[in-house]
Structure 1
Amino acid sequence: MLTAVAIAVDGLGFAAWLFLSSVGLTLIYGVMRILNIAHGGFYALGAYSSAWAIGLYTQTGNTMALTYLIIPLAALIAGVVAGLVVERGILRFLYGRDEVLMVLVTYAIFLILEDVTKLIWGTDSYVAYQPAYWLGSIDVFGLPYTVYKFLIIGVAIACGLLLYWGLNHTRVGKLLLVVIEDREISAALGINVTLFFTITFLIGATLGALGGALTAPEVSVVPGIGAEIIVMAFAVIVIGGMGSIGGAMLGALIVGFARAASVHLYPPAELFSIYLVMAVVLAVKPYGLFALAESRKI
């Protein structure tokens, strides 16, 4: 019984973290058809910015409640600044190029961002545990969990609902769906496709940074933290279907529960379980569970 509870709670918590870290990646791919490897760099920038800001603020001795505003603010600044530099400075000159070239370019950007984090924050680890422990813990059928874990789950649900509402029930969202369907016809209809690309990239970068910023109080922020998440995020969006928000949510749940089950039942298979699930899904659905339909040009 306790094992099942642990798998359920840990799986849900891991899934929430994965969804927040990967939904920006699938959003960018869905709109721009760019598999943005640099997403891992945005995640790392968010994590470092959050940990550094929390550490700086807690030294002042002020109330801890404000740290829960510092975390999203750090993610917003890191995501918007880095996203603008990358999209306006590099990617806008490459739109329409081969997708493989875009992968190589964003991988190079990821390596640059990894070095940028080292230049700004050094190679030492940052620990910002205060927000996670200030809220305390609760018992779930006798198993203690930090309240902060459930806060992350709540944020993930809120982000998912907000994205769904924005895409399906707002004028901007519906125009974005038109751009996703066919960018050439969208441009012919007078839609500013370039502006939509910029906004989409900034939202995706900020979501990646938010995933890192929210994770910082639960982990030790160290160099290379972005490389781990980009592999996990890629597995999530491939399982769910690249470009699908709902697919990212389902993929995160599948990966989260698979990892939690392996950790509690057979720890040596922790990483293997994720890729086993991905292989099984792709064997049945080669383009993922909710892959976007590709328009056929005549």
Structure 2
Amino acid sequence: MDLLLTILIDGAIYASWLFIVALGLTLIFGVLKILNIAHGSFYAIGAYAAASIVGLFTAQQYAPAFSLVALLLAAVAVAVVVGPLLERLLLRRFYGRDEVLLVLVTYALFLILEDVSKLIWGVNPYYVTEPYGLFGDVSLGSLFYVGYDLAIVAVALICGIGVWFGLNRTVLGKIVLAVIHNDEIAASMGINISRVYLGAFTFGVFLAALGGAFTAPMISVQPGISVGVIIVSFAVVIIGGLGSIGGAAIGALIVGLARSTAVHIWPAAELFSIYLVMAAVLIFRPEGLFQRVVARRI
């Protein structure tokens, strides 16, 4: 019984931060139709920025609770600086071009951002310890967990519900959905497609950076973390269905439980279990579990 509970909780914790990152990835694809290979780099930059800002807050001897504010500020700063810059100066030039070209462009961007991160923060690991002890330990039956790990689950729920509510219950969300459904008709109705693209990409960067910022206290922030994140994030959106928010949530949960089960039962198959689940879904549902609605063209 304890083993089952451990698998479920560990899977939920892993799925939570992964869902935040995958949510940004699937949003960018849904609106801009771009498979963004560089999304993992936004995650890594968010983690590095969080380490730097938390270190600054600590040096100024702010209360430890302000370290959580520092994590959020790091994600916002990355989104505000990186999102508009890349969308305006680079990606906008390739809209409407072949999908393979867009993948190559974002892959090149990924390589560039990896080197830029090394130039700014170096190659030595960073550790963000202050936020991790804020919530103490939590007892779940005979198991004990760090409260911060469980708080990440709450952050993921807030992000998921917030994005869903924003898209389905606000005027701005309806505009974004119109662009997702058919950008040509949306443009003919007077919607500023360029502005929607900019906002969606910037918010997608924010979600990736947010995932990195709030994961930073749980890991060693060092070069290479972006590679593993983007691979697993793609597994999530492929399982759930590209462009589907609900699919991203289910996909993250499936990946989290698969990984957790492998870690506790057969550790050598940790990564293999994720790819096995992805392959099984693609065999029976090539479009993913939740296929995005596509406008019928006459």
Q: TM-score range by the shorter chain?
A: over 0.9
By how many angstroms is 1:134 displaced?
Answer: 2.9
Once the two structures are TM-superposed, the CA of residue 80 in structure 1 deviates from its matched residue by: 1.9
Once the two structures are TM-superposed, the CA of residue 219 in structure 1 deviates from its matched residue by: 0.3
Aligned partner of 1:144 in structure 2 is: 144
Q: Which residue of 2 aligns with 1:20?
A: 20
Q: Which consecutive residues of structure 1, in runs of 5 or more, have no partner in the other structure?
A: none
Q: Distance in 1 between matches of 2:246 and 2:219?
A: 27
Q: Distance in 2 between matches of 1:118 and 1:79?
A: 19
Q: Which residue of 2 aligns with 1:198?
A: 198
Give the counterpart letter for 1:88 in structure 2. Answer: R
Q: Distance in 1 between matches of 2:171 and 2:35?
A: 26
| Counterpart amino acid of residue 158 in structure 1 | I
Shift of 1:144: 1.5
Mapped to 1, the partners of 2:191 and 2:206 lie a distance apart of 24
3-state secondary structure, aligned to 1:126: coil
State yes or no: 1:275 paired with 2:275.
yes
Aligned to 2:67: 67
SS of structure 2 residue aligned to 1:139: strand
Aligned to 2:216: 216
Alignment map for 1:75-224 (pairs within 5 Å): 75-224=75-224
Match of 1:225 in 2: 225
1:185-239 deviation digits (Å, cap 9, x = unpaired) = 1111111111000000000000000000000001000001111100010000000
Aligned mates of 2:168, 2:249 — CA distance in 1: 16
Residue 17 of structure 1: how far off its partner (Å): 1.1
2:288 maps to a residue whose letter is G
> 1:286-297 maps to which residues of 2 (within 5 A)?
286-297=286-297
1:33 maps to what in 2? 33
After superposition, the C-alpha distances for 1:86-139 in whole angstroms (9 at most, x for unaligned) are 101100111100111000000111111111111111111000122112321112
Question: Shift of residue 294 of structure 1?
Answer: 2.8
RMSD: 0.9
Partners of 1:297 and 1:164 in 2: CA distance: 26
Q: Which AA in structure 2 matches 1:26?
A: T
Percent identity over paired residues: 51
CA distance in 1 between counterparts of 2:59 and 2:6 reads 35
Other-structure match for 2:55: 55
CA deviation vs aligned residue, 1:229-267 (integer Å, no higher than 9, x gap): 000100000000000011000000000011101101111
Once residues 89 and 224 of structure 1 are traced to their aligned partners in structure 2, the CA distance between those partners, rounded to angstroms, is 26
- Partners of 2:134 and 2:165 lie apart in 1 by 32
**Following the alignment from structure 1 to structure 2, what is the Cα–Cα distance between the partners of residues 138 and 12?**
15
- CA–CA distance in 2 between the matches of 1:47 and 1:115? 15
What is the CA–CA distance in structure 1 between the aligned matches of 2:12 and 2:175, rounded to whole Å? 33
Shift of 1:295: 2.9
Helix, strand or coil at the partner of 2:155: helix
Residue in structure 2 matched with residue 9 of structure 1 by the alignment:
9
Conserved in 2, the CA contact under 8 Å of 1:5 and 1:141? no
3-state DSSP of counterpart to 2:65:
helix
The letter for the 1-side match of 2:159 is C
CA distance in 2, matches of 1:51, 1:151: 19
Give the CA deviation at 1:53: 1.3
2:42 counterpart residue number: 42
The normalised TM-score by structure 2 is 0.98
Determine the C-alpha separation between the residues in 1 that align with 2:38 and 2:86: 9
Aligned length: 298
Distance in 2 separating the partners of 1:49 and 1:164: 27
Counterpart amino acid of 2:266? Answer: Y
